[in-house]
Amino acid sequence: MASSSQASLLLQKQLKDLCRHPVDGFSAGLIDENDVFEWSVSIIGPPDTLYEGGFFNAIMSFPKNYPNSPPTVKFTSEVWHPNVYADGKVCISILHPPGDDPNGYELAMERWTPVHTVESIVLSIISMLSSPNDESPANVDAAKQWRDDKPEFRKRVSRCVRKSQEMF
């Protein structure tokens, strides 16, 4: 089991790697330089998606036993999406605890494994923005609108994108 100091070292390494080799579509850094367990992440809305042109901010909070357990990711920008709870918390398979899904929706291999990095998590979130999963939604209203009223869904997302640009 990873100790807090091992988790801290791993997170410092991942941050250094991201600074040396930035990845298109997002940036990440510490909220407080004395706390490697709380990161600020900015995600640029992926091209050719409804979120294109948006600047979405989130907080990534890592547990002390990272990478054995996944972080939580919570948007601080407004995001209307089937896989984002109303409070901004992101709900994707790789952020779910490792092992079998007690509800039977996900395979164990779709859930968290210690091989994931900050980069792979954020790339999964970018993918989520490109392809919502309305089969097991975090935001039932957004999923229903995504399925039943795409024009209104687009309008709502466009408002979020405009708002994110104003906050940038």
For the annotated catalytic residues, the residue numbers are: 91
Tokens for 125? 């979130």
Contact 36, 30 (CB under 8 A): yes
Task: Enter the DSSP assignment of 26.
Answer: E
Sign of CA dihedral 47, 51, 53, 57: negative
d(C-alpha 80, C-alpha 31), whole Å: 24
Q: How many CB atoms lie within 10 A of CB 43?
A: 25
Length of the chain: 168
Instruction: Please state the separation of Cα 14 from the chain's center in Å.
Output: 16
Residue 98 exposed, middle or buried by CB count within 10 Å (0-12, 13-18, 19+): middle
